[in-house]
Amino acid sequence: MKQDSKAMRMEEVSRYKYMNWTAKNPDEDSDNSAIYVQELNDSVTLDDLADFFKQCGVVKVNKRAGQPMIHIYLDKERP
C-alpha cells in the first residue's frame, strides 16, 4: 500500500508544470540547474521530488546533511 501511495504522489508531481531557469545563452555550459515547481499536493515529500527529478538527471546531494539539494518553501497563505 505504501508503494501505491508513493506512486500516486509521483504521478501528482509529474502532472504539475515546472519551469527550468536556464542560462541566458542556452548554448553555454552552465551550473544553473534551478527548477521552480508550484501547486504540489501537501503529501509530496522531498524524497518524492528527488526520485522524480533523478529521472531527468543528477540531483546534487548536500554533503553535510546527506540529503538531496532540494528546498521546499511552503506558502503561508495556503490553507
Instruction: Let me know if residue 76 belongs to a domain.
Output: no
Instruction: Let me know if residue 11 belongs to a domain.
Output: yes
Instruction: Let me know if residue 41 belongs to a domain.
Output: yes
Within 10 angstroms of residue 52's Cβ, the number of other Cβ atoms is 19
Instruction: Let me know if residue 8 belongs to a domain.
Output: yes
Is residue 9 within 8 Å of residue 41, measured between CB atoms? yes
pLDDT bucket at 17, cuts 50 / 70 / 90: very low
Instruction: Let me know if residue 75 belongs to a domain.
Output: no
Instruction: Let me know if residue 79 belongs to a domain.
Output: no
Domain residues for the domain of 39 are: 2-68
Domain count, the chain: 1
Coil, helix or strand at residue 62: strand
Instruction: Let me know if residue 62 belongs to a domain.
Output: yes
Instruction: Let me know if residue 73 belongs to a domain.
Output: no
Q: What is the tens place of the pLDDT at every residue in 18-70?
A: 444 343 445 555 566 677 888 888 888 888 888 888 888 888 888 898 888 88
When comparing pLDDT for 78 and 70, which is higher? 70
Predicted TM-score (pTM) of the model is 0.51
